[in-house]
Amino acid sequence: MSTCVNAVSLQLDHTPLPDESVVDGAPTTGHRDVTSLADVTVGVWEHTPGVSRDVESDEVFVVLGGDASIAFDDGTPTIDLRPGSLVRLHAGQRTTWTVRETLRKVFIA
């Protein structure tokens, strides 16, 4: 069966990030898994304005909307995120997400 959703307007239920993940502000995140391919999940994820820290999973994503950047603890250059950005993250990378305008992405993980 084929699946088609509007990833830009898909309704997501948001929850606050754990206090230990928040660096600044009161960001929330929401996501919805849309489909799977073998052992990977395809979905939509969103992060509201604020700064948070994370440990990444293997993932590729495309930004649909928003303005943000990802800084890496390992010295990898900071990535600026805007609509159309295509990014590859690796499992175990420690990151800091600075979200200036709500960020929405389609992910494959």
In tens, the pLDDT along 53-102 reads 999 999 999 999 999 999 999 999 999 999 999 999 999 999 999 999 99
Please report the pLDDT score of residue 50 as a whole number.
98
Extended beta strands in 1-109, E state: 14-16, 22-24, 28-37, 40-47, 50-55, 59-72, 79-81, 86-89, 94-108
User: CB 38: neighbour CB atoms within 10 A?
Assistant: 4
Domain ranges of the chain: 14-108
User: Given a cut of 70, is residue 1 above it in pLDDT?
Assistant: no
- CA distances for 39 relative to 9, 16, 61, 95, angstroms: 26, 28, 16, 24
Q: pTM score, two decimals?
A: 0.93
Please report the pLDDT score of residue 94 as a whole number.
98
Contact of 35 with 68, CB cutoff 8 Å: no
Architecture of domain 14-108: Sandwich (2.60)
